[in-house]
Amino acid sequence: MTDIRRSLTKRLMERTQEATIVARFAKNAINAVGYAIFDIKNLDLQAVQRLPAVYPGSKSEVARPVPLGGSKELHVSDLPPVEPLVFNNLQAQSGSSVFRHHSSAFVGSEIYEHLDRVRMDNEYETCIVQGDRVALKCLGVTKIDKGICAFGQGSSNWYHWIAEYLPTVLLSQHLPSAYAGYPLLVPEAALTVPSFKDTLDLCRGGRDVVPMKEAQLYEIAELLYLPPQVSGPFNVRAGYWPEPKDYTQNIDLMHELRNLILNALGVQRTGDEPKKVFLARPPGTRSYNQDEIITAAKQRGFEPVRLEKLSFKEQVQLMHNADFVVGPTGAAFTNTLFMHAHSKSLIWALQEYSGSCFFSNLAHVCGSEMTYCFLNSGTPISDSFEAFRASYHLPVDTFCHHIDTLLDEEREE
């Protein structure tokens, strides 16, 4: 029934652009199936108060993925000082970057400036966009008195949590003393998943935390919002694929985050094995001929490891100690952030993601050399939702050519 309502709402949204009487009928019909229409506005321009900067101006450094034999392509731009924004009576879900306020839907500049490309959907909320308006599901509301926004689209995803939301948690330590009693509003996973909680505790500086359920809509009487310093599209619209222009990465803040975690955990390089790590994963989405590839990797001295079976500190220690890491694109490569400066990695991904800078950005932060191998999907794909589930085949000879070339280069050095 839910899919039927979504499909009907999508068709009705298209009719809201027609003549007045048709548009009025369409709007009433949308309300009847449990959705409401909101005007999309730039969140950054709607604050009731802007606080003094808590972090100086910096540079955004975005690194495009480098294929074998390619050259590094770095996109650098200026970032303004980080000025916290204060909002009153915004409604939000922890897994969404869309804030509701009366008849408006506020989204940050990183989304607003790419509305033609970026999708705002999450697992619990389908955002049906038509022009500068969006239809959102009507939900019951739970009240929160005050808090600091450390949630948004993808905040329960390991990559997005570490790279995009943890920097915000870190910045909250720089807020004026008047906001010392404001808790961090975080996705429930930040307290229930051990690795998430470990990272939260390392960066929150003792600040209180309030968990938010993803399927629940909350109204926050006073919300403190720190403009994101690292961002990238969680999903893009059909016909589009991620490009470097979709990303921002505050390089100074990411260095600060990396160093804080390494120092807090007391992680240092040792002579312990393994020095060559294969990031294996259990069967599931994006399945591929992993057994064949692992066999070839083992012949070259690589040890298969399942990072999800390790504690966060064990993950960081393993990655920081490794000289060479290989594996398919996925959450495990988030820990690239903790590799040492002279390490190398090989990652394979669908060719549609040749402009997806998630992990290449993290490699740039730590100074590791990351090489990509791009592949074709086993089935036709038209958008990032389909790509996330798509299976593929990595030819063994292709893998061997890539890995042998990189290992030969390492020996020559």
Q: What is the mean pLDDT of residues 101-116?
A: 94
Residue-wise pLDDT tens digits, 175-198: 999 999 999 999 999 999 999 999
Q: Is the residue at 251 inside a domain?
A: no
- Indicate whether 119 and 168 sit together in one domain: yes
Residue-wise pLDDT tens digits, 140-156: 999 999 999 999 999 99
Higher pLDDT, 185 or 115: 185
Distance CA 356, CA 378 (A): 20
- Indicate whether 42 and 161 sit together in one domain: yes
**Which domain covers residue 13, as residue numbers?**
1-33
| Predicted pLDDT at 411 | 72
Residue-wise pLDDT tens digits, 195-219: 999 999 999 999 999 999 988 999 9
Q: Is the residue at 236 inside a domain?
A: no
Q: Which residue among 231, 256, 285 closes a domain?
A: 231
Asked if residue 1 has pLDDT above 50, the reply is no
- Indicate whether 135 and 200 sit together in one domain: yes
Residue 123 pLDDT class (50, 70, 90 cuts)? low
- Indicate whether 73 and 169 sit together in one domain: yes
Q: Is the residue at 323 inside a domain?
A: yes
- CB-based burial of residue 206 (10 Å sphere; 0-12 exposed, 13-18 middle, 19+ buried)? exposed
Write down the pTM of the prediction.
0.92
- Indicate whether 4 and 46 sit together in one domain: no
- Indicate whether 24 and 45 sit together in one domain: no
- Indicate whether 137 and 176 sit together in one domain: yes
Q: Is the residue at 253 inside a domain?
A: no
- Indicate whether 90 and 192 sit together in one domain: yes
Number of domains in the chain: 3
Residue 24 pLDDT class (50, 70, 90 cuts)? confident
Residue-wise pLDDT tens digits, 38-69: 999 999 999 999 999 999 999 999 999 999 99
- Indicate whether 337 and 199 sit together in one domain: no
- Give the domain CATH number at 316: 3.40.50
Cα 211 versus chain centre, distance: 19
- Indicate whether 275 and 399 sit together in one domain: yes
Q: Is the residue at 241 inside a domain?
A: no
- Indicate whether 368 and 289 sit together in one domain: yes
Q: Is the residue at 197 inside a domain?
A: yes
- Indicate whether 397 and 347 sit together in one domain: yes
Q: Is the residue at 258 inside a domain?
A: no
